[in-house]
Structure 1
Amino acid sequence: MNWKFWQKEKNAQPKKKTKSREWFDAIIFAVIAATVIRVFFIEAYTIPTGSMEKSLLIGDFLFVSKVNYGARIPMTPVAFPFAHHTMPVTGTKAYYDGIQWKYRRLPGIQDIKRNDVVVFNFPDGDTVALEAQDRDYYEMVRSYGREAIHNQYTIVSRPVDKRENYIKRCIGIAGDVLSMKDGLVTVNGKAVPMENTGQINYLVELKNSDFNFEVFKDMGFVISDIQGIGGNTFDFLGTPEMMEEVKKLDFVVSVKPRTSPLEADESNIFPQDPNRKWNVDNWGPVQVPKKGWTVKLDSLTMPMYQRAISIYEGNKIEKAGKGWTINGQPADSYTFKMDYFWMMGDNRHNSLDSRYWGFVPEDHVVGKALFIWMSYDTNASFFGKIRWSRIFKGIH
């Protein structure tokens, strides 16, 4: 080697980065670091509806742990950072679904337990009407017909991890047998009354309609929780504990849960089977599928499990005479490949949950809700109001 050339190289100073290059590198590093944290550790989530009141309120901002149940490896790896399924300005897809990875999950520190508050991808969100994304596509089809919906809306399909995020409480884990009668859930033969975070509607009869609302406000009610329905009878939305306090008031005549009659039939209740006369307060029994569990396929079980077998587990099911074929082979039973869960909102009469769309597969689970880091009541004033008492409140 030439000594002069070597000395020149030795004395040469490294080329200094420009300010723009430094900013570019810093931004790239920040995006990568934030994406890794969001995918594998923790993610922020906002409560958009009242389906989880009283435990979670509209305007609560949560941190959701990916570590507790084990982080899910991205199934749609090519996506725009920090956008879920839609670009914020253009409204176009924020991901490329030409590359799809199989469902895999890192080891977690716990399994999903009953009463956990869980964030998951909406199971019925595989098909979406873009102009009506806040509505369940399948319920729209049942109500108006497939042709009418496809003629009126732009219909798209979404991969599992790009379906809408939902948050509910886990009522049943894999293998559980659940039912509900008069609004009371039974799990594996044991009645499970609502805790003080769960609420339903009650019929309250008063001696007269002239009462001081401040009495109920002190018990935790808000104006919208109480609605007159004729005479001295009112509809109260509250927890069992709140209603026990209402019963003690000397001007209250009676307090009764406002639940659907046992014989009432609601066609939109899962599994939308005309042979099952179920409603939002009376349904079951339902057995939640468990990995390795084998179910016999017949006219009773197919309405309950056909979607799980075909859509969630990726099999082709066809009716063949009096029986069924799965992937072209005759089948009189099926063994599930995943665990499933039954999710319900704490605001039982104002929640679209498993009572309407059924089971949540394990590959749809996003994470466990940990605590509220900010809460903002947009209805309190023009500029909104911070709910200071809810900041850093744990979720139970």
Structure 2
Amino acid sequence: MDNNWKIGLKLAALVIVAVWLVKTFLVTSCFIPSSGMENTLYQGEGVLVNKWSYGLRMPFPSFLGYHRIGSCEVEKGDIVLFNDPGATQRNKRLEWRRVFISRCIGTPGDTLMLNREMIDSGDEVLSPDSKSLYVYPSSKEDLMRVILDAVGLKDNSLVGYTEDGSYIRSFSHYEFYLVSQKAGQRIDFVSLNSKLSREVHPYVVPRKGRPVKVYPWNVVLLCNTIVSHEGKQAGVRGDTLWVEGKPVSSFTFSKDYYWMASNDPVNLCDSRLFGFVPEDHIIGKAWRIWYASRKERFFQRIQ
């Protein structure tokens, strides 16, 4: 009996060590906490993340320093798991920070055209599941509900209201096609994204060793990045960036950075909330669904 107990303990210890080794050096997992990545990933689904997609980030970077084996860059369109780079997590060690999962739409050196809501207004579509916001008259809400039910989108909820009382919903390109075809001329849709496209400015995603020029529209974002991830004192006076007590017209970053976006612009858990994501915060690429919301999605490859 004693031998069986000892064998059981040894087996349990081996299993625990094996799981830790796999999660640390091969594959980790996470659950999708919100609807921000629909229709690619649904809330509550479990996702396997390949830790070698961009090279393995060695364990305990806060203690041992940041090192990556077989390092390679994230590609535009990839769905990426990364540690929260936000200022509220600054006092936590990197490996203990909460994690986010979003789609990369800006790689080091890219120039993004962002509007005043920090939404990319470029024409490139990285995923058919990326959603846009549409406005329609509140008087058409009853008809809208009938149409949503008819095309199988009855779970699509209102996301807000405009100042004049119109209703706002988010649809992917395909979802909007279904709804607009069914509605015909009965509902007058206006893309809210086009309304927000005023005051569009270019934002350069920092690349290691390359200077980024300071402009009035990017000065706060650059300042926050320098303070949070470059380890320097910085501040903004008027439209001028001050670094280590000196005014600068450009700044050369010591790391590569990325810009992450949710599929649904309603969800703010992306770079609009926390800014550029440094390379050392990247954990890996979303690989397969291991806990699915629907049977046909089990172990489906994530695109």
Bin for the TM-score computed over the shorter chain: 0.7 to 0.9
Partner-residue secondary structure (3-state), 1:285: strand
1:153 matched residue in structure 2 = none
Equivalent residues, number: 298
Cα distance, 1:245–1:306 mapped onto 2, change above 3 Å: same
Residue 309 of structure 1: SS of its match in structure 2?
Answer: helix
Q: Which residue pairs with 1:122 in the alignment? A: 84
Asked if 1:390 corresponds to 2:300, the answer is no
Answer whether contact 2:161 2:168 (CA < 8 A) is retained: yes
Q: Does the alignment pair 1:111 with 2:73?
A: yes
Matched, 1:176 2:83: no
Using the alignment, how far apart are the partners of 2:166 and 2:218 within structure 1? Answer: 42
Check whether the contact 1:170–1:342 (CA below 8 A) recurs between aligned residues. yes
Normalised by the size of structure 2, how large is the TM-score? Answer: 0.82
Percent identity for Structure 1 against Structure 2: 26
Greater RCO, CA 8 A, separation 6+: 2
CA contact (8 A) 2:148 2:156 kept: no
Residue-by-residue CA offset, 1:82-119 (whole Å, 9 max, x unaligned):
xxxxxxxxxxxxxxxxx7221111115x5311110001
1:158 aligns with: 92
State the shift of 1:302 in Å: 4.5
| Matches of 1:199 and 1:298, distance apart in 2 | 29
Contact 1:119 1:365 in 2 (8 A): yes
Paired residues of 2:258 and 2:276 also in contact (CA < 8 A): yes
Who is 1:221 aligned against?
153
Task: Report the alpha carbon displacement of residue 160 of structure 1 after superposing the two structures with TM.
Answer: 1.2
Secondary structure in 1 matching 2:114 = strand
Contact between 1:204 and 1:252, CA under 8 Å: does it hold in 2?
no
CA-CA distance at 1:389 after TM superposition = 2.3
The 5 A counterparts of 1:307-346 are 307-317=224-234, 324=242, 326=244, 334-346=251-263
Q: Deviations over 1:299-347 (max 9, x none)?
A: 7764232232232122344799x98454x89977543221100001001
Q: Structure 1's 332 and 216: CA in aligned 2 closer, same or farther, altered over 3 A?
A: closer
Change (3 A) 1:356 1:233: closer
Based on CA coordinates, which of the two structures has the bigger radius of gyration?
A: 1
Q: Deviations over 1:101-159 (max 9, x none)?
A: 21111115x5311110001011016538xxxxxxxxxxxxxxxxxxxxxxxxxxxx211
TM-score by length of 1: 0.64
Report the secondary structure of 2:283's partner residue. Answer: strand
The answer to whether the 8 Å contact 2:287/2:302 transfers is: yes
Match of 1:102 in 2: 65
Q: Distance in 1 between matches of 2:219 and 2:160?
A: 43
